[in-house]
């Protein structure tokens, strides 16, 4: 597939999706949102892809948020037809882990894109936040919902109400970021190392675990536990379960097939 605002490449079982608008700090306009959604679908149906890494080109921003020029010109009713929420639901609901590799600013929609990923790794120079109230609007791509689920309601309200932009270290302290690397050149190696660690596990198990976690985050614990039981039942029916347990008993590395 051809993209104008993204670079999509594969490194073994890893798909690397790079926002490629460095001249505008990878600002998210409607075309970029549409291309992210297309890339998510491409990764969903590529059986060779087991982990996706999303990052930004240029070294200044993961994604600096919406293109303000398009916001100023947007008609009120166009907000209802925006694909941003649906795009991030597609990213979040991928049955494969998604890692956000953040270098520079992840603001507004950029922060919301990171929130839709499963794991966030940032460089020490990165800054994150939801500053939409400074423009007289609110986070509109899921930020009011995902941020509170990740950092807690009180901290989410503080960040959204004040529009504060925080450091990567503070983001790690509140659970918004999983890991911080000091040097920008270490970001992708660390992200790929984590991806490889995941790839070495049973792909069906990882997929089922992700779905169970996502379901549990959006329902009551009893429904979540019931879903977990069904997911475990499916896991027990796979060839990977036989291979994993056999490899453990035979003291060798498992060779998972995703079946």
Domain with CATH 1.10.12 in the chain: 203-249
Q: Specify the pLDDT at position 17.
A: 98
What token pair was written down for 123? 């460089």
Q: Is the pLDDT of residue 230 over 80?
A: yes
pLDDT recorded at residue 81: 64
pLDDT digits (tens, 9 = 90+) for 170-203: 999 999 999 999 999 999 999 999 999 999 999 9
- As annotated, the residues of the chain forming the CATH 3.90.226.10 domain(s) are 6-199
Query: CB under 8 Å to 183, separation ≥6 — which residues?
Result: 123
Give whole-number Cα distances, 187 to 57, 196, 202, 224, in Å: 12, 14, 25, 34
pLDDT above 90 covers what percent of the chain? 85
Matching residue, tokens 């991806």:
195
Q: Which pLDDT score, from 0 to 100, does residue 72 have?
A: 64
Residue 252 has pLDDT above 80, yes or no: yes
Top pLDDT among 69 and 183 is at 183
The reply to whether CATH 3.90.226.10 applies to domain 6-199 is: yes
2, 86, 112, 250: which is the annotated catalytic residue? 112
Q: How far is the CA of 205 from the CAs of 85, 159, 219, 226, in angstroms?
A: 27, 35, 21, 17
Q: Give dist(CA 176, CA 178) in Å, integer.
A: 7
Distance of alpha carbon 114 from alpha carbon 128, whole angstroms: 9
Question: Rounded to whole angstroms, how far apart are CA atoms 239 and 215?
Answer: 24
Residue 44 has pLDDT above 80, yes or no: yes
Phi-psi region of 12 (alpha: psi -120 to 50; beta: other; left: phi over 0): left
Mean confidence (pLDDT) of the chain: 93
Q: Given the residues 2, 23, 73, 132, select the one marked as catalytic.
A: 132
pLDDT at 55 over 80: yes
Q: Is 132 a catalytic residue?
A: yes
Q: Which residues contact 226 (CB under 8 A, 6 or more apart)?
A: none
Q: Do 203 and 240 touch, CB atoms closer than 8 A?
A: yes
**Of 108, 27, 38, which Cα lies nearest the Cα of 67?**
27
The candidate with the shortest Cα–Cα distance to 57, out of 107, 32, 9, 20, is 20
pLDDT confidence of 83, banded at 50, 70, 90? confident
The residue ranking higher by pLDDT, 72 or 27, is 27
Question: pTM score, two decimals?
Answer: 0.93
Topology adopted by domain 203-249: Lyase 2-enoyl-coa Hydratase; Chain  A, domain 2 (1.10.12)
pLDDT class for 257, splitting at 50, 70, 90?
A: confident
pLDDT at res. 73: 67
pLDDT of residue 65: 82
Contacts of 50 (CB under 8 A, 6+ apart): 13, 14, 96, 97, 195, 198, 199, 203, 206, 258
- pLDDT category at 80 given cuts 50, 70, 90 is low
Q: What angle do CA 69, 75, 77 make, to 5 degrees?
A: 135
Res. 242: pLDDT tops 70: yes
């Amino acid at each position: 597939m051809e993209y104008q605002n993204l670079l999509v490449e594969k490194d073994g079982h890893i798909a690397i999706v790079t926002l490629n608008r460095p001249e505008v700090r990878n600002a998210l306009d409607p075309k970029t949102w549409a291309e992210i959604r297309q890339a998510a679908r491409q990764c969903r149906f590529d059986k060779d892809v087991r982990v996706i890494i999303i990052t930004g080109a240029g070294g200044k921003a993961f994604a600096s948020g919406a293109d303000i020029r398009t916001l100023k010109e947007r008609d009120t009713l166009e907000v209802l037809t925006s694909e941003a929420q649906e795009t991030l639901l597609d990213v979040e609901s991928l049955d494969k882990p998604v890692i956000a590799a953040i270098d520079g600013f992840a603001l507004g929609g950029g922060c919301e894109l990171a929130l839709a990923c499963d794991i966030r790794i940032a460089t020490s120079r990165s800054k994150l936040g939801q500053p939409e109230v400074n423009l007289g609007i609110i986070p509109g791509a899921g930020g009011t919902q995902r941020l509170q689920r990740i950092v807690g309601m009180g901290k989410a309200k503080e960040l959204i109400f004040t529009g504060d932009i925080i450091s990567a270290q503070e983001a790690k302290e509140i659970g918004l970021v999983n890991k911080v690397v000091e040097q920008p050149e270490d970001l992708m190696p660390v992200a790929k190392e984590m991806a490889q660690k995941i790839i070495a596990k049973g792909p069906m198990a990882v997929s089922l675990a992700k779905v169970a976690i996502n379901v549990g985050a959006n329902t009551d614990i009893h429904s979540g536990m019931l879903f977990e039981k069904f997911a475990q039942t499916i896991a027990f029916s796979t060839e990977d379960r036989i291979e994993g347990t056999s490899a453990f008993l035979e003291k060798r590395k498992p060779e998972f097939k995703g079946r």
